[in-house]
Amino acid sequence: MTERKDIIVGIDLGTTNSLVAYCDETGPRIIADEQGDSCIPSVLTFSPDGQVVIGCAAKAHAVENPTATVFSVKRLMGKGYEELLAEGEIAQLPYTVIKRVTDSADRDVAAVDLNGSVLTPPEISALILRQLKQQAETYFGREVRKAVITVPAYFDDAQRQATRDAGQIAGLDVVRIVNEPTAAALAYGLGVRGHLNGTAGPSDDLSLMGHCPSTEPASGSASGGQAGESVVAVYDLGGGTFDVSVLRLTDGVYEVLSTHGNTHLGGDDFDRQIMNLVQREVREQFGVDIASPAIRQALRHFAEQIKMRLSRDSSAVLEIDIGASEPYRRTITREEFETMISPWVERTIASCSRALADARLGPERIDQVVMVGGSTRIPLVRRRVEEVFGRRPYTALNPDEVVALGAAVQADILGGSRRDTLLLDVIPLSLGIETMGGAMGKLILRNTRIPCQATERFSTFVDGQSSVKINVLQGERELARDCRSLGEFELRGLPPMPAGIPKIRVTFLVDENGILNVSAVEERSGIEAGIQIIPAHGLTAAEVRRMEIESIEHAREDMTAHWLIDLRNQIAFDTQKTEDMLAKVGEQMPAPERSAVTTAIAELRTLAETCSDPRRLQQALDDFDRQTVPLAERAITATLRAMDT
């Protein structure tokens, strides 16, 4: 009997929403949850008793629990507290971000304080990943252990490592980290169909360029490329990040020519422009500062809704009760909103121009522009992209889903099911080391195809030097102080030699996930040292392993807690529906029967509040469902009679 092949899913771990997808011989599909929802909001609420609510329910109650509801955690991934403080990110958040105390004074670890529990961004992201993992396992009916996870193309090494850590904590083997624009190109090039949610999805197959599973390669582009070749720009503007990539697609080979972007630019910043406007006007008109976490959470929600409405309508009305004699009421026009966000949109356009220059292509050489991310629904964004590229962007696929679909395609490739596609990605920022005098010595330049390796020789500056500290840097500036330090290691035990005599060979190796390994060897003595970069503000391997072990050790109690939450939600839903049916047809029932149902509702609700045994709750819910069958039958009959009349 042959062993079943491991399932590999594709995951888009997004700033605003997260999704999981799977690809088989018919193409990639989103795995929806039991309610048929494809997107899980990347929002988590932490209760004082340690329970965690993830997704729509957490988002719905954000105003009630403002300091214990975490959102946009992706913008914190792989960053230290001091860096986030300098960026101004912490001041914008209603929840508390702190600098976690570690055993090393050199390590700057940002964390979130939630009711006294301190969690790092990878730990919080792991909870979202674990939810997606369970969603996939529910669909397949067996364990899912492997995943491809996407990241913004402009995520640096620290942010990629943090994403990998989150996957490991969630119990997933992250077999590949893929850039989001590249994943989107895979989805567009290979076609998509429907959702995996237990029912057949819409059969809206699409092939933009490259291959569909059942079609021949697309013909050559009109811009003069080789037969079967297309050049595509993928513009990816999500909730918290932006990047643009230029790819060449040739007979199933996806080659990234260039990438550029900003990991701190997205729809969240557009929301904040509306929030800043409201806060300023409320202060001017009413003399009130909107400072409480609850009001800020509410205002963030209102701003997001206004932004979405202005993508459809020319104006939108915002009304907020601020506790004054009259509510704050404001009509915001699309033109006004576009003026507010224009500077942010222009930054994305500048990145597009930079990516084209790096690829040595003019806009006329681009065959297609693909739009990815929910913020690309904004009319100004689409209009400016059309202007800079000279062609209307392609928007046929749901911009929220296309990255997850592409991740599923890459998962299918790694699983060995698809052999007609090859993905050639690039690193987003140059890599090097600090040299004498604080200069940045670049070994691997940005937009170099991965996997890649570079070697360069250095020497000592001082006679008799017995050790060399190697500071690994990432960035485009020429001075070390203007670049980001990814980590340091020391080459010790060098034999005393005059300055300039030692020959130290430094090798940088970037694997297919964009993760960096650095080694150094003194060629005369053979002494060597190396490091897989773990940034000073990241988690150590031991910490990640501890969290992974804890997730396994507490798996049973975590599952029990999750079961209890689901049951309590179901009880609340069922009892409310039963009350609705009583109001509709209760007068038709004998008084004792009606009284029994009313009593059963009260008893079940009380039990849900007090009982922590899920088996007992499940039995009580089953008994309640059986007891209310006659009422349900009466309600159905009444509905059918009303339809007949």
Per-residue model confidence (pLDDT) at position 345: 97
Distance (Å, rounded) from C-alpha 501 to C-alpha 513? 36
Query: Which of 342, 360, 390 finishes a domain?
Result: 342
Domain check: are 24 and 139 in the same one? yes
Q: Is residue 420 part of a domain?
A: no
Domain check: are 568 and 505 in the same one? no
Domain check: are 147 and 37 in the same one? yes
Distance (Å, rounded) from C-alpha 255 to C-alpha 644? 62
Given a contact cutoff of 8 angstroms between Cβ atoms, the answer to whether 317 and 331 are in contact is yes
Domain check: are 42 and 179 in the same one? yes
Domain check: are 183 and 83 in the same one? yes
Mapping DSSP to helix (H, G, I), strand (E, B) and coil, where does residue 533 land? coil
Q: Is residue 355 part of a domain?
A: no
* Residues with pLDDT less than 50, the chain: 1-2, 190-227
Q: Is residue 567 part of a domain?
A: yes
Distance (Å, rounded) from C-alpha 127 to C-alpha 52? 9
Given a contact cutoff of 8 angstroms between Cβ atoms, the answer to whether 411 and 10 are in contact is yes
The domain total for the chain is 4
Q: Is residue 550 part of a domain?
A: no
CATH of the domain at 560: 1.20.1270.10
Residues paired with residue 288 on neighbouring β-strands, in sequence order: none
Q: Is residue 391 part of a domain?
A: no
Mapping DSSP to helix (H, G, I), strand (E, B) and coil, where does residue 479 land? strand
Domain check: are 584 and 459 in the same one? no
Domain that holds residue 57: 8-197+403-414
Mapping DSSP to helix (H, G, I), strand (E, B) and coil, where does residue 168 land? helix
- Count other Cβ atoms within 10 Å, centred on residue 364: 11
Given a contact cutoff of 8 angstroms between Cβ atoms, the answer to whether 102 and 81 are in contact is no
Per-residue model confidence (pLDDT) at position 388: 94
**Which candidate, 484, 476, 479, 490, places its Cα nearest to that of 518?**
490
Distance (Å, rounded) from C-alpha 428 to C-alpha 245? 10
CATH of the domain at 187: 3.30.420.40
Given a contact cutoff of 8 angstroms between Cβ atoms, the answer to whether 516 and 472 are in contact is yes
Give per-residue burial for 416-433: e unless 16+ CB within 10 Å, then b: eebeebebbbbbbbbbbb
Domain check: are 407 and 455 in the same one? no
Domain check: are 158 and 107 in the same one? yes
Domain check: are 532 and 474 in the same one? yes
Q: Is residue 47 part of a domain?
A: yes
Domain check: are 96 and 174 in the same one? yes
Distance (Å, rounded) from C-alpha 505 to C-alpha 444? 15
Distance (Å, rounded) from C-alpha 476 to C-alpha 483? 7
Give the catalytic positions in this structure: 12, 74, 180, 236
Query: Which of 367, 386, 414 finishes a domain?
Result: 414
Domain check: are 178 and 84 in the same one? yes
Distance (Å, rounded) from C-alpha 258 to C-alpha 595? 71
Q: Is residue 101 part of a domain?
A: yes
Query: Which of 370, 386, 414 finishes a domain?
Result: 414
